[in-house]
Structure 1
């Protein structure tokens, strides 16, 4: 899955009897693992601590793993009834916290003069480039063109799909679900409904045939008769072209996880969120529904990040189209 992560040194000092953790200039996977380990060890051993300060005055870059470490520390701090305070947060980091919603759950001290931007400069603050694909305007252009074509196809097939869904199982046409995208930012994904109306309520009663932080069941009884056809042909995913057009997803990327899946991630596994989720990707062309081990999902997602190029994206799109015409290639 994810290789061994070497330890980094995170010293905890005291200022006016308050423990302070100095974070490094970059909080990526190596530092994030050590950050989580050091903080959680301190919280476990210091029963009388009421407040813990994270000093980010030197930190100007944070990726998905850094967010994962923060989330893990927030959870334990709440269990221990310890207040976490962020100090010296630079605008670049604050933009990430705002995007992921962490600015609403963390106590953040007002920035000092040294970390504020000059008037008129706020619009120039950019989110971190966690992966080259995030800032590729050509990839974004392909996404826009592809999503417009996809939405055109969706419009043509919309009425027939609506009719068969309604005839098979009365209820909503669309199914929406919260997923986690780039850096863990939550968004609402859309699909044509392929399950019974109360599918989410019944999920806990269905056996999970996958191992790790995701859910699969080959003969899921919640899937309707028409739903199985929609899934086999991937027609249920056509509305996701709207998510691509909005920029929440890409045509090609990693599998978009649900929040409850992300809740179970270890810090290194957050690396898969360094790129935008995609309608297709390595998992789609390398086993799709046959991939039942979360370690394999991580391996495929990281392989995509390592091999990414515009040509690689186009190859995966072509492979996906070819796979859709193969027997027993669809999802279940």
Structure 2
């Protein structure tokens, strides 16, 4: 079984007590152009987030009173833990009820199309991807990128096989290969891993920009969202 942490100051991923996998530094993690695009995109995104904060807060107050934001510890680049932010889309205390919800995904991810913990406002936020907008803050401070792999939770990482750790060679992103090519309709973790590794092989600044454009198109079509 994989452990929930890995060495964050080197390129070595401690997979279990006996196996250590070494990876070279991925070009995207040292690209100045990618970082500048992230900063510019995050500033624009946070401006939009500031505009929608008030209506989202009012809607949540009416529908299910509680905090406006939801945060969760995720594993980022090289397994480094960070706090990821979202607009709250579930009832207060939803994490404590997770064990009561059936996981409809295959592998080391959790998905439920009709998760009863999701509020009415939350369904709209998820359908439009507005719930992800606070992550522009994560991008601005460098924990995430606009484009990358989606950050797993520590409990998911504890179940990783050696090849799964390649997902953590790049910064986690608000969007990525599988979000732009299926969003929530992809429920097989091995397919997600394959697409994430494929993204790393094909990476370039131009490819990131193409995925951003494709993501915007997918969101406006509301394709594969729930």
Same fold (TM over 0.5): yes
1:174 equivalent in structure 2? 69
Q: Map 1:120-139; keep pairs closer than 5 Å.
A: 130-139=25-34
Partner of 1:257: 152
Q: Aligned to 2:101, which of 203, 206, 211?
A: 206
**Contact 1:255–1:283, Cα closer than 8 Å, also in 2:** no
- Greater RCO (CA < 8 Å, at least 6 residues apart): 2
Q: 2:17 aligns with which of 62, 73, 80?
A: 73
Q: After superposition, what is the alpha-carbon deviation per residue over 1:183-237, rounded to whole angstroms, capped at 9, x for unaligned?
A: 0000000000000001100001100000111100000000000000000000011
Deviation, 1:267, is 1.4
Query: Any stretches of 5+ residues in structure 2 without a counterpart?
Result: 3-8
Inter-partner Cα distance in structure 1 for 2:125 and 2:43? 21
CA contact (8 A) 1:194 1:226 kept: yes
**Residue 116 (structure 1) aligns with:** none
Aligned equivalents of 2:61, 2:136: Cα separation in 1: 22
Q: What CA deviation, in whole Å up to 9, does each residue of 1:51-81 have, x standing for no partner? A: xxxxxxxxxx953xx3233xx108x9xxxxx
Equivalenced residues, count: 216
- Contact 1:68–1:267 (CA under 8 A) maintained in structure 2: no
Between the aligned partners of 1:68 and 1:167, the Cα distance in structure 2 is: 46
Q: Deviations over 1:149-200 (max 9, x none)?
A: 0000111111111110111001111100000000000000000000000110
Q: 1:135 to 1:328 in 2, by over 3 A?
A: closer
CA–CA separation in structure 2 for the residues paired with 1:169 and 1:315: 37
Q: TM-score if structure 1 supplies the norm length?
A: 0.63
Q: Report the TM-score when normalising by structure 2.
A: 0.92
- CA deviations 1:128-156 (Å, max 9, x no partner) are 96200000000000000000000001111
SS in 1 for 2:90: coil
- Backbone CA RMSD of aligned residues: 1.8
Q: Who is 1:194 aligned against?
A: 89
CA apart distance, 1:328: 4.2
* Deviations, residues 2-57 of structure 1 (Å, cap 9, x unaligned): xxxxxxxxxxxxxxxxxxxxxxxxxxxxxxxxxx9xxxxxxxxxxxxxxxxxxxxx
Moved over 4 A (4+): none
> What's the counterpart of residue 156 of structure 1?
51
Mapped to 1, the partners of 2:108 and 2:165 lie a distance apart of: 12
Is the 8 Å Cα contact of residues 182 and 223 (structure 2) preserved in structure 1?
A: no
Q: Report if the CA contact (8 A) 1:68-1:270 is conserved.
A: no
Mapped to 1, the partners of 2:223 and 2:164 lie a distance apart of 30
